[in-house]
């Protein structure tokens, strides 16, 4: 375009000079006007050339380097596209598609509720793993509630000679502290949860008595001196626990929240025990007696729980008697309470 314009102007000027040779004198008279016209034409041509130049010969833009890589490892289709310093990638994982743009990750999940999109940040973590993609049991945390004894299946009736073990159930309680659990997943919503815990049980006697370890380690009642009434009398036991629970989770619609149902076994090892009485004679008096009280060193039982997210209702029953065989009443401890999990 630029060359064509200059060529055209040159031809026009040449033709003009030939045709006007005979009228040179007339042109000389108009010299001043012609010079002005030539200057004007030259300026216009220069301006036209300057305008046409960027239009006809634009400088090429630098194209970004684009690299495309396909990854078929782990039977998963992955396409990674690198554009400059940014990374764009797509990964198919069954019913889920993950899209990464820079350090942002978008998860497109297909479930019974349709298609749900979640947004998260990479934060230098494994791009293809997320807390919602794996099983997490509801076990670790704080548990508290009431405890007591069973004498038979679903029975709490004591034999007359064992009446000194009658409990004030509203003041007999326990609390357990359990570490965050270890998870063994079978699927996203089914797995095994296990942990270590510390269990403290307080059994409040309802009558005016405590217990004592007598001859040959046999447990029997202990009564205060005449005129003394215990305002408080209890047996306290401390055990280390190891629950192993199979948990199933029922997901709620349009969220990652679940209703959790779990059941399993629990083992425990004795750490210590003591009795404590409180009474008033010339002021408040306390007496504490530490002993093993012929308690079974190890015990095991069944435990179950049901709940919503971090809140659970729990129940545990031990199949091992509280005392060693022949050294005390045949009593089977049970616990009913609530739990607040910390690993949700």
Least confident of 108-112, 206-210, 253-257: 108-112
- Checking if the pLDDT of 85 tops 60, the result is no
pLDDT value at 65 more than 90: no
- Do residues 81 and 66 make contact, with C-beta atoms less than 8 angstroms apart? yes
More confident residue, 129 or 191: 191
What is 51-102 written as a DSSP string? HHHHHHSPPPPPPPPEEEEEE-GGG--EEEEEETTEEEEEEEETTEEEEEET
Ranked by mean pLDDT, the top range of 43-47, 129-133, 191-195 is: 191-195
pLDDT digits (tens, 9 = 90+) for 282-340: 899 999 999 999 999 999 999 999 999 899 999 999 999 999 999 999 999 999 999 99
CB 70: neighbour CB atoms within 10 A?
8
Quick one: pLDDT at residue 19? 44
Residue 71's pLDDT is: 55
Q: Does 44 have pLDDT greater than 90?
A: no
- Distance between CA 188 and CA 330 in Å, rounded? 42
Average pLDDT estimate for 75-82? 53
pLDDT tens across 103-145, in order? 677 777 766 555 666 666 554 444 444 455 688 899 999 999 9
Residue with tokens 């570490």: 179
* Structure token pair of residue 286: 């306390």
Query: What's the pLDDT score for residue 256?
Result: 76
The tokens for 327 are 């050294």
CA 247 centroid distance within chain:
16
pLDDT at residue 7, as a whole number: 44
What's the pLDDT score for residue 229? 95
Q: What is the domain partition of the chain in residue ranges? A: 67-132, 141-341
Average pLDDT over residues 198-220: 96
pLDDT at 180 exceeding the cut of 80: yes
Q: Is the pLDDT of residue 66 over 70?
A: no
Helix (H) / strand (E) element for 25: namely: helix 24-29
User: Is 0.85 topped by the overall pTM?
Assistant: no
| Average per-residue pLDDT for the chain | 79
């Amino acid at each position: 375009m630029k060359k064509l314009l200059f060529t055209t102007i040159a031809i026009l000027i040449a033709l003009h000079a030939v045709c006007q040779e005979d009228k040179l004198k007339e042109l000389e008279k108009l010299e001043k006007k012609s010079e002005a016209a030539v200057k004007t034409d030259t300026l216009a041509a220069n301006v036209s050339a300057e305008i046409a130049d960027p239009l006809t010969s634009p400088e090429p833009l630098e194209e970004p380097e684009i690299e495309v890589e396909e990854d078929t490892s782990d039977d998963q289709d992955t396409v990674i596209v690198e554009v400059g310093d940014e990374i764009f990638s797509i990964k198919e994982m069954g019913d889920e598609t993950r899209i990464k743009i820079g350090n942002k990750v978008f998860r497109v999940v297909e479930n019974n509720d349709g298609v749900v999109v979640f947004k998260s940040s990479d934060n230098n973590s494994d791009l293809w793993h997320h807390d919602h993609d794996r099983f997490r049991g509801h076990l670790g945390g704080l548990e508290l509630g009431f405890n007591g004894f069973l004498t038979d299946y679903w029975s709490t009736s004591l034999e007359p000679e064992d009446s000194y073990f009658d409990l004030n159930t509203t003041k007999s309680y326990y609390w357990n502290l359990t570490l965050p659990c270890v998870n063994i997943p079978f699927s996203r919503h089914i797995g095994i949860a296990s942990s270590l815990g510390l269990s403290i049980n307080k059994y409040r006697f309802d009558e005016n008595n405590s217990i004592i370890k007598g001859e040959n380690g046999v447990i029997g009642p202990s009564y205060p001196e005449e005129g003394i009434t215990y305002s408080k009398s209890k047996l306290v036991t401390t055990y280390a626990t190891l629950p192993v629970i199979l948990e199933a989770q029922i997901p709620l619609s349009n969220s990652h929240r679940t209703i959790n149902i779990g059941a399993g076994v629990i083992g425990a090892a004795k750490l210590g025990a003591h009795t404590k009485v409180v009474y008033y004679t010339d002021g408040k008096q306390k007496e504490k007696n530490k002993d093993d009280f012929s308690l079974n060193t190890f015990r095991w039982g069944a435990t179950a729980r049901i709940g919503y997210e971090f809140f659970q209702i729990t129940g545990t029953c031990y199949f091992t008697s509280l005392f060693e065989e022949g050294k005390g009443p045949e009593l089977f401890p049970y616990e009913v309470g609530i739990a607040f999990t910390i690993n949700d």
